[in-house]
Chain A
């Protein structure tokens, strides 16, 4: 029976191999067409950033630049060198790093601890605590914007990087908890039980048993948090302005500033600069990035 099935399946495959030749070509054609659609804006951004304004006016979006001209990149990154009204991205780029690194660290650490307790030191009603935290993933931040602005004011950290670190740490906790909880739930509890019988305490079990096997989920969480916080605009634009602004806010200000003639090449260079760190992470660790995306959405 099994052989017969196997054989008829083989036969079917052979047949489809020839009749579906056309279909295969169509398939690749469609996939490449879609790929071009997704690539198109990135291509336009890169070539535009390498053109002079003169070239931009004369050619089209797709025209190849006449040479590798990084002038607009230099302007986007370091400015033109005169005083007032000269906005450029360099200081804000570093602002974003100063904000992202502590916020990612704290939120990941808290999430790991919470996920550990929720799965390995279960207590009555822990499911409800999890749900209580999980709901935080979904609230529209508009509902907390006004009290947050006041709280930061009262604490004296509005319009500061410390304030943004606090905000991003707090609103990252629901996600980091979700990630670690779903990861630790598949770690056999017997391991923990055995260690407890051997007299190991709460922290020892965490650092000796769970932490060493947590590398994949730490990578997923760090990438997720890094991308989220780096790309944030709502909090950045609401709670900071001027010198403390993160990069996305600075990019938006730069593009919207209508002081002189629109310089699309500088705009595009700025947009690429603001996008490069997350793109690098995506290219280097795409597998973990996707895992974060899908498990940030679908649980388990």
Chain B
């Protein structure tokens, strides 16, 4: 008995982690999956009902708006974060004085919660006393900036706040990537007459492919899960114009008491994340095994 215990001690120590994750992650996802095939309203029901909730989901105008917003947000969020992140990383990589201070400034928004970020930007972007008033007081009398309360434009305010929060993170990833490249490669290229632009565009950025890949995965992941920022900045409004899938899910579950429908939307989100993450994990694992 004692021998067995000694031999299996490592596995026993592992057991809580595996058990907790097995139950609270995999078990719960399966439960949600099952419930999405039932006609549960306030309380979960367990008799199967088929794919009715998914039919209802994809016929719902609000869900379609949410998916639309997710696509717009993800595309712009990705582009701006990556472009700003790369520019900052390359600029900082030029033996800049006070690099540490600048880096700290670019990255501090990552330490704040999305609720804090949303609260701050909501105040800055509000049309009566915010940026609009600032420009008007400066003499631009016809300046209008009412995106926050404009159905068509409100989703872009979420992009503005989101990019502000996460661009520094992409910078940190790329800066780490650039710093890991051997100096000799750059020197050799310079001696061959390549200018700085060519060095980055033709040599260094193509080498950063894994960093691009990682940034892509992380940013898409952030945007699919984005919930707090919407709640703090727009509450999905004006109207339902800035609803996103994560907000749709919680509202359907906890305000509308449509548990089955909400589970279906959660499963759609799960599948979207899995579609991005599984290839990523697979390639990471392969790279590690090849090492």
Contacts and interface: CB of A to CB of B under 8 A. Distances in A.
Contacts of B88: 31, 34
Nearest to B123: A264
A38 B120 contact: no
Contact of A61 (B24, B87, B96, B131): B131
Contacts of B69: none
Given A35-B106, A289-B111, A135 B281 contact: yes
Interface string A168-180: 0011011001000
A251 B116 contact: yes
**What 4 pairs between A and B have smallest CB-CB spacing?**
A231-B113, A121-B10, A282-B111, A144-B28
A219 interface: no
A170 B20 CA distance: 7
Contacts of B149: none
Contacts of A290: 107, 172
25 contacts: A27-B94, A110-B16, A114-B13, A116-B13, A117-B13, A123-B11, A132-B21, A138-B281, A139-B273, A140-B246, A140-B270, A140-B272, A146-B32, A146-B262, A174-B21, A231-B113, A233-B227, A234-B246, A271-B115, A271-B116, A271-B119, A274-B113, A274-B115, A275-B116, A299-B288
B275 to A, nearest CB: 11
Interface residues of B, number: 99
B57 interface: no
Contact of B102 (A8, A9, A31, A133): A31
Contact of A297 (B10, B21, B32, B218): B218
Chain B interface helix/strand/loop/mixed: helix
A78 interface: no
A12 to B, nearest CB: 6
Contacts of B277: 135, 138
Interface of A: 5, 8-9, 12, 24, 27-28, 30-31, 34-35, 37-42, 44-45, 48, 56-57, 59-62, 110-111, 113-114, 116-118, 121, 123, 127, 129, 131-136, 138-148, 150, 170-171, 173-174, 177, 201-202, 227, 230-234, 237-238, 248, 251-252, 255-256, 264, 267-268, 270-272, 274-275, 278-279, 281-283, 286, 289-290, 293-294, 297-300
